[in-house]
Structure 1
Amino acid sequence: MKTEKISILIGITVSALFMWFGFHYFKYVDTPAIQRPYSPFLEGIEVLDLRFNDIKYKLRPPSQSQAPVALIAIDDASVREIGRFPWSREMVAEMTDNLLKLGAKSVSFDVIFAEPETSNPQADTAFAKVIADNPDRIVLGTFSENLIDFQPHQDLCVAEAFLATGGDQLVKINPSFAIDEETHAIDDLNWAPLFTTLFQTIQEREQNDLLKSLGKKSPEELSTFQKNNLKARQSLALFEYCKTWLTKHDIFLSPENIAQVETLYHDVVAEAPDLKNLKFEDLRSRIRKAYKTHPIPQYGEWTPNTLELQTPANYTSSFIAQLDADGYVRRYPLFFRSGHKLGTSFIPSMALQSFLLSGPYRAELKMATAKDGEKSLEQFNIYDTSKEPEIKIASYPVDGSGQLLINYYGRQMSLPYVSAKELFNDETTVKVTTSVMNQESKQLVIETKEYDKKEFFKDRSLIVGATAVGLYDLRNTPLEANYPGPELHLTMLANLFDKHFLKQWNQEAQWLPVVLFVGGTALAVAWALLGSLSSLLGFVIFILALGALDLWLFIKNNLLVHSFLIYACAFAGFGAIQVFKYFTEEKKKKELKSTFSKYVSPAVVDELLKDAANLKLGGRRERMTAFFSDVRGFTTISEKLPPEELSRVLNLYLTPMTDIVFKNSGTLDKYMGDAIMAFFGAPVKDPHHAAHACRCALESLVKLKELQKEFSDKGLPHIDIGIGINTGEMSVGNMGSNIVQNYTVMGDSVNLASRLEGINKEYGTRIVISEFTYNDVKEAFTAREIDRVRVKGKLEPVRIFELVCEGAAKDKTAELMASFQMGYDLYHQKRFAEAKEVFEKAQTNWGAEEPVSQLYIERCQEYLDSPPPPDWDGVYVMKTK
C-alpha cells in the first residue's frame, strides 16, 4: 500500500477514535454534575478543555455594563476606618437603612449573621427591625459546604432533615420563585410524623452521647459553646442518617427496631391504595425504585442567620460559589435544593433573588420527567408580574444543573464599587470606583468619581460583601486569580439585567463528534497528499482559521464551544501522519543511502536525500555524460600474476580512480574487471556534468603517473589506461529484475562512450571525447579534433576529440595543436601531400611520440598511393567495437 493511502488510513483512524471519545466526553460534560459517573480521566480532559477555553476570556476585549447594580464593599479601607469585621449589627442596620432611604431597590447580603451579638443584644433587634420594615427589599444570605450525593430516594429524608434544621425559616413562601415539577405519588404522602419520630431519636442519642462524654446530666449544664456544638452534631447526624435511609445500614431497620418502625411506615402510606397493603420489604423496594437522581445540586446543613434576623426576613438566598473541577469559577447556579419538596426545598441564588426583586419579576423553573422517571431541566423563564397578564421577559440558557456561564465584563472592579465607609457620613455625594472604557486604548481603566448619593443609589440592586484581602472571600476565575467572591454575584446580577448571556451550543453532544470525524478525515486526506512543508503550512493556516472562528463565535455571538477536542484531533491527526511519514522517509533514506553509497560519494548521497525529486526510481530520461576507463593490456598482465596479487593490483588501481569519480560528483555504475563505468548528472542533477567528467579524466591521468611510479617501485606491472566520454540523452534508474536491481544508465549515448574508450587504441591517445561533450566544455577545456568516425552499429559519423587540458593550451602545446589543425584541415581538403608534410613537421616538433600525427602520415601516404573516391567525406569507419 502506498504511503499516501496508509497516511489517510491513519488520519481516518485517529478521527474515528476522537469521534468515539467525543460522544462519551460530550455526553459526560452535558450531564449535570450530580448525575455524572465518576471518571478521573474524563474529568482531567474537562479540566484541559476548560483551561483552553479560558484563553478566549483573556483574548476578549472587556465590556462595560449599564446595569443598575453596585457592590457595597467591606474593603480594606473600610476595615481600617471602621474597625475589624464583623461590625456591630447596629452599624449594619444603619448602613442598610441609609441605603434603603436613598432609594435602593434591594440590599442583598453576601454575609451571614449566624450568631447573636452577645456584647450588645439590642444590635440584633435594631437590624431585625430594619428587615421587618423592609421585608421585600432585603435579601439575607445562607450557605452550605455539604454537597451531598445520596441515593435518589433519600431526597425525601433530606427534605425533612432540612426543615428540621432551620430550613423552614430559610425557605418561606416565595411568590417570586416557582418550581413546576411533576411529583411522584410518594412525594405527596405526609412523611413528617415518621421523620419527626426518627429524628427525635437520633437527636436524643447525640445529646446523650455528648452529655456522657462531658460528664453532664442535662443540656442546661452545657456552656454556650457546648450547646452550639450539640446543635451542629445533631444537625449533621440527621443528614448522615439520610445517607443510610432504607438501606441495609439504616439503624432503624435493625431486628430490634423493625417491628416498631414498620408501623410508622404503614401509617404514612395508609391513604395510598396501591401502597398500604404492601409488605414492608415490598414498600421499601417500591420507594427505592421510584426515584432517579435529580439534576440540581443538593446541599445539606445550610447555615441560617440568627433566628431574630431570619424570622422577619421574607427572602434568603444562597451565596455558594460553584467551582469547576479545577477550582475555577466559570458557572453560576441560579438555584439550589435540599431534597425536592416543592415550596420548601429550593433556594434561589443571591443574584437571581436580587434580580427578581428589581422587577417585580417571577422565575419559573420547569422540570421534565421522562417515562423512566429521569428528571431534566426543561426551561427557566422570567416573567414580569407588573403586567396583567404577566409576560415572559427572558428564557435563560441554563445548563442541565440550572447554571449559567458567567459573562465576565473584565477584571475585578468592572462594575461599580462603593466602599462601605462611604455610607457612614452625612455627605450628599458618594465616591464610586468602577472601570470605564478608555477610548484610545479600548481598555477598561479603573476610576473613582463622585456622584450624588440619591441619584446613584436610586433603584439600584445592591450586594453587600467583603472584598478586604484579610477576609479571604477570593476566588479563581478565567480572567484572574483572587477575584472577590461578592463580585461574582454582582456580575451575574448584571448579566441578568443585561440579558447578555454566554451560551453553549445545545447540539454539541450530538454534532461535535461528527465534526471531529468529518473534519479530521478531510484534513487527513489533505495532509497525506501534501508534502511536509505544504502540510505544515496547511496545518498552521487551519489552526489559525479555527482559532479565529472560535474567538469570533465567543466575542461576537457569546457562544462558548468546547473546541479543545477539535484542536486536539487536528494535532493528533497531523502528528500521527507526520510521524508515519518521517519514519517511512527515514527508512527510505536508509535504503537509498545504503544503495547509493556504493555508487557516489557521501556528499552526493546527502544531497540526494535532501530532496526525493533528485531520484526517480525505475528509470527516467536525462541528458548526462557517460564515462568509461579501461586498463590497456590487462589480460596479458592478469596472466602473469597469481590471483591474490592480481586482486591487490586492482585494489591499488581502482580505489584512487573511484575516489576521483566521487570527488567530481560522478556516480560509479560498475566495475568490469579492470574497467570503470561511471556517469555524471544523476542521481543528483548536475548542469556541469560534462565538465566534471572531463576533469575526472584529466585527474585520472595525473593519478595514473603516480601509480605507475608506485607500481614500478613495488615491482608491479606497468599499466596504462584509455578513457572515453560522451554526452547525450540516456535512461537512468534502477534497472534489472524484481530480485536484483542496479542503478545504471542505458542508451546509445552510453554505447558511444564505450566505443570512444576503445578508439584510444586506434589513435594512441588516452582520453577521447565526443563532439557532444566537446560542445559543452569547449569554453573551459582544450581539445583537438582527431577524426570523424562512424562507429560500428551507427550510420551517422561523429567528430571525436582528444582532451588535452583544462583551460587554454600554453606555449609549445598550443603551437603543435595549431600545426596539427592545419594538417587536419589539409587532409579533409584531399591535399594529402601538403598535409603529410605538416603532420611530419608536427611529429618532429612535438619532441615526443605523437601517434595521432603518425596515423595521419600513414593515411596521407595511402591516399597518395591510392586516391579516395570522388565522394570521399573524410569519415573513418571503425571495423571493431
Structure 2
Amino acid sequence: MFANVHLQEIILYDIVFVMVMKNKFKEFFKTKIELIIMAVFALLSVMAIQTSLFQKLDYRLYDSMLKITKEIEAHPNIVIVDVDDESLGRVGSWPWTRDILGNALIRMKEFGAKQAVFDIEYISPSSKGVNENLSDTVNKTFIDGEQAISSSISEFANGIEGGTVNAKNAHEHAENLISNEIDGILYEMQKEITSGFELDYDDFFARCVQFFGNTSLTVNMRHIAQKGDESEENYARTRFLFNNVTDEKNLIQKGNIYSVKEEASQELGFTPALHKILSRAQGLGFTNVIVDKDGIRRRIELLNFQDGKYVGQLSFAPLMKILDVQSMERTSNSIILQGLKNPNSDSRYNISIPLDKHGRMLINWLHESYVDSFRHVPAYLLYNLDLAEKLIIENLADIKNADLSSLSEEDAEYILNAMYFEDEYEKISNSKKRLLLKCRGFDEEGNAIRGGLSEEDYEKYFSARTEFFKNLKEFSDSFATVQGFDQIPELSELSKSIEFYLRDFEILKGSMEGSFCIIGNSATSSTDLGVTPFSKQYANLGLHANVINTILQKKFIREIDSLWGLAFCVVFIFLTMCITAKFSTGKKNFTRFLYVIVPVVLFYILMTQFNIYVPFVIIFAFSFLNYFAGIIVNFHAINSDKKFLQSTFSAYVAPAVVDEIIKNPETAQLGGNSKNITALFSDVKTFSGFTEAVNNAEGESKGAERLVSILNGYLGALSDAIMDCHGTIDKYVGDEIVSFFGAPVDDDENAFHACLAGIRMLQAEAKYNEENKDKLPINPHTGEPFYLNSRVGINTGNMVVGNMGTKKKLNYTIMGNNVNLASRLEGTNKVYNSWIMCSDSTWNAADNGANKGLLAARKFDFVRVVNIENPVQIHCILGLKDELPAKQIEAAEIFNEGIKWYLKGNDFPDTPKDPEDFKKAYQFFKNAKECFPQDMSSDVFMKRCSYFLKYGSGEKWDGVFTMKEK
C-alpha cells in the first residue's frame, strides 16, 4: 500500500518534469535536434566502448557470425594423440608412468611422425618403479656394454681397413674412440647398474624425447608455487627462447601484462619442464591460454616476453622452427613472420598474422566438435601395438615347447627355426638400448652431448626392424606348406599375432607419417577442458591444433576496433541527414531505416566473406537509437497516446498490469472477464499484539512511524517473493496482502507458482526477521524480538478479473466466491497450526505435469469455512522436496497414510465410523510427530482421533470440520 503511493508520486513527478523540460528547450532544438542527438549518442557509445560495457554481447554476436562463415579446412598433417577415456580404461588411470608415453614416442618415430608437442607439464620428478628383474638388468647391462664396445672397436678397425684411419690420425681417432665412445658406454653401464635397484621412468622418458628428435615440451608463464633451479631456468631461456623478434614499441610485453590482469588471480612467471627431460627436447612453448570474460576461448597469445627474449606458444614455437622463420616483427596490429621457407622449394615468403588490440590472434576454429575435428590417434593404440609386439615374441618362445610330434622330422626342424627370430629380436632390442644410451641431452647451444644419434643410427635400427618383421611374416606364411601345422595351436597363434600386428602397424603409420602430433590428456575427467564458440566441452589439445591450423592455412580473422566502426556510422548517418534534409516525412522515415540496415549488412559481409570482424553491439545500438530518434522527431502523432498513458499510469502500479495495458489499451476499460486463476491471501499472525508492542516501546506518535517503517520493509520482502513467482499484487489491506496468479498475463502453471510464492514468502519472512531482529519490538510474553509471521491461504478456480471502479479511478482486481475461499483458508491455518493452506483444486493443479512431485504437502480433512456451505478438502504446503530435510518429508508421508484411515468412510456419512480406523490413524499421526516434532498439525489430528474415540462412537461421520469464525 505504502509502496504504491510512493510509486504514483514518482511517476507523476517524472511526467511533469519531462513536459516542462520539453517546452523549455523545444525552440532551441527545433532545427538541430537530430545532429545533437547523434552527437550525444556517439559520445555515450565511445564511453561504452572504452568501458567494454556490452563486451559479452559482442562475444555472442561474434560466435554467431563465426558459425556462418566458410569453414576452414583441417590441415592433413595435424594429428592429436589423445589420452582419452578409452585409453585410461585400457592402460590405467592418469597419471601414467612416463615410460608409456616414452615408448609411444619411439613408436611414432618409427611411423615417421615429424613433430611431437606435449601439452603435459612435466615440471616435477615422477616416482621411480621397482626393478623386479635386477639380476637380468645387470647381466643385460654387461652384455649390452660389451656389444657396444665391440661395435665401436669394429668401426675403428673398419676405418683402418678402409683407409679413413691412418698413421697420422690414428692417435686422434683412438682418443676420440676412448673419450667419446668407450668412456660414455662405461659411464652408462655404471649408471645402469647403480640405479638398477629402481626403474628411473624420468630418465627413460627423457631419452625417448631425444630419440624422437623434434619434441617440444611446456613452460608455464604464470607464477606457480613450485620453484625450479635458477641455472636450469637459464638453460631453458638461453636455448629455447626466440631472439629474432623485433618489437620497437614493446607491445608484446604490454599485451602479456594485460592478459595477466584479466586473469586477476595470476601473475607472470617462468616454470619450464623438468630439466632432465627438457635438456633432451628440441623445443619449448607456453601452455597458458586466453579465456574471455564469458568463459569462452576465442584468441591466443603467440609470444610472451621473457628477459629480453620471447617464448612461443606451445604449438606456435615448434611451427616457427618447422617453417624456418628467419625473423618476426610485431607491429601495432599484427605480427609479421619473415622469411618462411616453402616446403616444396627453396623460396621464402612472409606471413602477416592479424592481432586484436591486445596482441592476441583470433583462432579460426574448425566448426566440428573436438572428436570430429582433425585426425585423432588414441594413445592406447600405440600402447597396444607394443603389447602386440611383446605377444609375438612370447608366441615365438612358446614354439620351443610346442608338441611337434605330428610333423615330419624335416618340418619340425624347419619350425624350430623360430628360435632364430628370438635371437634376432634380442639383438634389435639391444640395439635400441644402445641408441637410447647415446641420448645424453643437449648443451645450451643445442649441440648433442657426445654426438648423440645420427641419421645412420636411425636407418640401421628401423631397417633392422622392418627386415625382421618382413622375414617373420614370410616365415609364418610358410606354415601353410607344412602338413598338419593347423593341429599345432602355437603356430596358429603366432600367425594371427603377426597378422594383427602388421595390420595395426600399417594403419597407424598411415595416420602418423609426416605428421605434427600434439599429445595430451583429453579425457572427460581432465581439468584441461574449455569452452569454444562451437562446443561447451573442448579439450585444450584441440585449441593448440586450431592455432597451428589457422596459421598453416593462412585463414586469419581480423578484428577491427569498434571505434573505427562507430566512426563509419557517424559519417554515414551525417551524410544521409544532409542528403535527405529536404525529403518529406515519409521519405525521411524510410531513409532513416538505412541507419540500421547498411551497417548490419556491411559488417555481416565483412565477416562472412572476408573474415573481418567489427564488434557490433554498441554500433548497432547507436544506429538504432539514431533511427528511433529520427522517427520521434518526424512524427508527432503519438501525443494522444502519450496523454492516454499519462492518465492511465496513475491508476496502475503493478509492472505486469502496465505492460498489458501498453500492449492492449482496451484493457483499461471498465469491466472484467472470468478466468481460472489462483488467489493468494496472507495476513500477519497477532498483528494487533505487534502494533501494541510497538506503541508501548515508542509511544503513540512515534509508534505509528516505526510501524509504517517496519511494515513497509516486511510487506516489501513478501511482495517481492510474490512477484518473483509471476504473481500480481492486488492490494494491501493493513498487514494483509491480496494477490493473484494467472492474470493479466496468462500462466498455465498459476497454481504451482502461487504455492511456490507461499514458500518463498515464508523464506523471505525468516530472512527479514533475522536481519531486522534488532529493529523489532520485544514481545512482552517471551522477552524475545516480536517476530512477524504471516499465514497464507491459496485457492484456484474461476474468478472475475479486470478493472473495477470508475473512469477517474480504476483498480485492477479480482472478485468471486473462489477469492473469498482463499481468504477463509488463510484464517483456517489457525485451527491446524499450519502456515500455508491451499484447496484441493489448487493442489491438483499444482502437483501436475512437469511440476508433479516437486511439492511436499500434508493432506488434511475437509473444511466448511464461514459463509461458504460446500466443504473443501485442504492441503498444507510444506515446501519444495529438494529444499526440505529428509525427516520432514518422511513425516509428511507417514501423516498422509494416517489421513487415509482418518477419512476412511467419509463418503458414506450415514454409516457409523469404525473406531479401529481412528486408532490406526492416531498411530500414524503419532509416528509422524515422533519423526518430525516441529510440525504441530499431527497434534491437532491426534486430539481429534482421541475425541472421536471417546465421544463419537456411533455418530455420523463425513470428515468435515466446520469453521465457526473467519
Greater helix share, 1 or 2?
2
Question: Relative contact order: is structure 1 or structure 2 higher (C-alpha 8 Å, sep ≥ 6)?
Answer: 1
Q: Same fold (TM over 0.5)?
A: no
What TM-score comes out, normalization by structure 2 length?
Answer: 0.30
Q: Which has the larger radius of gyration?
A: 1
